[in-house]
């Protein structure tokens, strides 16, 4: 299949999860979504990641974002693994893990990279908007756990920039100044950005975050 790219519609699927069968697009509904894959059950780095997401779950909820994990092991294995995750990370898992023994979803999302490993999925991250379009794709090696603070930061940026004619600069965090889109002429700025702006260069104009 063709490689997924930003702006593509996220492939739909029906799958068994630890919280019952889902149709992916229906399950997302009007929310944002983070789909993230794991090389296998009962692996150390994955266990810490799933625990971290459980701890961060209220932050995802505040952002109207659903999270769903995937591993190419079966449902029974997932359910046993959840007990270990909850015990070792001192959490309760509030989100589903997709059982993908057939690798159907992993192949739909190109999560198996043969030159890295022929059978296990890499650590993929997809952020999907309510319109079901893919807004971010990240790929980590199996040996590197993900930074979920960065994933939350990207969600903040995506949600902000989808509503306003702005972009977020390097190392931006929620509440910092933002960049006015180059498509906005100077004479339209006062009406669109009443908090004022600073012109550093004609193409680089900063303004306070408009929704703060």
How do the domains of the chain map onto residue ranges?
14-146, 164-207
Which of the following is catalytic: 46, 99, 105, 129?
Answer: 46
> Do 155 and 65 form a contact (C-beta atoms < 8 A)?
yes
pLDDT band (50, 70, 90) for residue 122: low
Q: What is the pTM of this model?
A: 0.92
DSSP letter for each residue of 180-197? EPTTS-GGGHHHH-TT--
Three-state SS for 21?
strand
pLDDT 10s digits, 173-205: 999 999 999 999 999 999 999 999 999 999 999
> Do 93 and 82 form a contact (C-beta atoms < 8 A)?
yes
> What's the pLDDT score for residue 64?
98
Helices (H), 90-142: 104-108
pLDDT 10s digits, 32-68: 999 999 888 999 999 999 999 999 999 999 999 999 9
CATH 3.40.30.10 fits 14-146, yes or no: yes
Active site residue 33: no
């Amino acid at each position: 299949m063709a490689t997924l790219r930003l702006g593509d519609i996220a492939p739909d699927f029906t799958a068994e999860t630890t919280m019952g069968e889902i149709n992916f697009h229906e399950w997302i509904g009007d929310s944002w979504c983070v789909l993230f894959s794991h090389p296998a059950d009962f692996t150390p780095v994955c266990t810490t990641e799933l625990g971290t997401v459980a701890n961060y779950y209220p932050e995802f909820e505040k952002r109207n974002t659903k999270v769903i994990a995937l591993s190419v092991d079966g449902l029974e294995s997932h359910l046993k693994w959840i007990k270990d995750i909850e015990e070792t990370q001192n959490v309760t898992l509030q989100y589903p893990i997709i059982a993908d023994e057939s690798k159907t979803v992993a192949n739909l999302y190109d999560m198996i990279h043969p030159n890295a490993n022929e059978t296990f999925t890499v650590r993929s991250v997809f952020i999907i908007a309510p319109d079901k379009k893919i807004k971010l794709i990240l790929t980590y090696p199996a040996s590197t756990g993900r930074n979920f603070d960065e994933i939350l930061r990207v969600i903040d940026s995506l949600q902000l920039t989808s509503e306003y004619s702005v972009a977020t600069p390097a190392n931006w965090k929620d509440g910092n100044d933002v960049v006015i889109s180059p498509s906005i002429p100077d004479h339209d700025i006062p009406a669109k950005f009443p908090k004022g702006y600073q012109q550093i260069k004609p193409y680089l104009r900063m303004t306070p975050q408009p929704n703060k």
